[in-house]
């Protein structure tokens, strides 16, 4: 199953971009042996669009046909890294060809983006800067694959 981390907005060169890219590269290397042949980061640039409905519609239309949507949203559910890993494995084993973990813009996602999503998740009740959410999402993809690989990277207390 191909994985995409889809992000509304552009991140300029700097330490945050480098760290997110590093986690995506690590995940892509690890994922190939686990049935995840490609892991990519895609930036969506909603030119001239400012409301979350228009941005959501543009991103929805750009997703690969049949892609499972994993939407990060403040209304989402908190799950553990292990549960996220299990969900990815289940979707892969059920034959899903593609899944997109999606980070919205400053105003979040419209209800159309959340409706029909395979999962609506959040990183807790706190508000996080967009640049950090990108890093955290990339790291969680890498961590999920590390769990599936039974790597020592993820250690349970």
pLDDT tens digits, 56-66? 999 999 999 99
- φ/ψ of 110, rounded to 5, equals -75, 165
Rg of the chain's alpha carbons, rounded to an integer? 15
Q: What rounded mean pLDDT belongs to the chain?
A: 93
Long-range contacts formed by 41-46: CB under 8 A, 24+ apart: 41/4, 41/5, 41/6, 41/7, 41/138, 42/4, 42/5, 42/6, 42/7, 43/6, 43/7, 43/8, 43/9, 43/10, 43/11, 44/6, 44/7, 44/8, 44/9, 45/9, 45/10, 46/8, 46/105
Residue 102 pLDDT > 60, yes or no?
Answer: yes
In eight-state DSSP terms, residue 108 is: B
pLDDT at 156: 65
pLDDT of residue 157: 52
Contact 73, 106 (CB under 8 A): no
pLDDT score for 48:
73
pTM for the model: 0.94
Regarding the domain with residue range 2-148, which homologous superfamily does it belong to in the CATH classification? SPOUT methyltransferase, trefoil knot domain (3.40.1280.10)
What count of Cα atoms within 13 Å lies in the side-chain half-sphere of residue 110? 13
Q: Delimit the domains of the chain by residue range.
A: 2-148
């Amino acid at each position: 199953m191909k994985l995409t981390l889809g992000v509304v907005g552009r991140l300029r060169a700097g330490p945050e971009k480098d760290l997110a890219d590093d986690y995506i590269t690590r995940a892509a290397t690890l994922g190939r042996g686990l049935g995840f042949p490609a892991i990519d980061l895609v930036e969506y640039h909603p030119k001239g669009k400012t409301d979350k409905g228009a941005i959501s519609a543009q991103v929805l239309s750009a997703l690969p046909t049949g892609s499972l949507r994993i939407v990060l949203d403040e209304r989402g559910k908190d799950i553990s890294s292990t549960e996220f890993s299990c969900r990815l494995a289940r979707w892969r084993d059920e034959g899903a060809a593609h899944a997109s973990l999606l980070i919205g813009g400053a105003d979040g996602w419209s209800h159309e983006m959340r409706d029909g999503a395979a999962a609506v998740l959040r990183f807790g009740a706190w508000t996080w800067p967009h640049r950090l959410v990108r890093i955290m999402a990339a790291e969680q993809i890498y961590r999920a694959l590390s769990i599936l690989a039974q790597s020592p990277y993820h250690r349970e207390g």
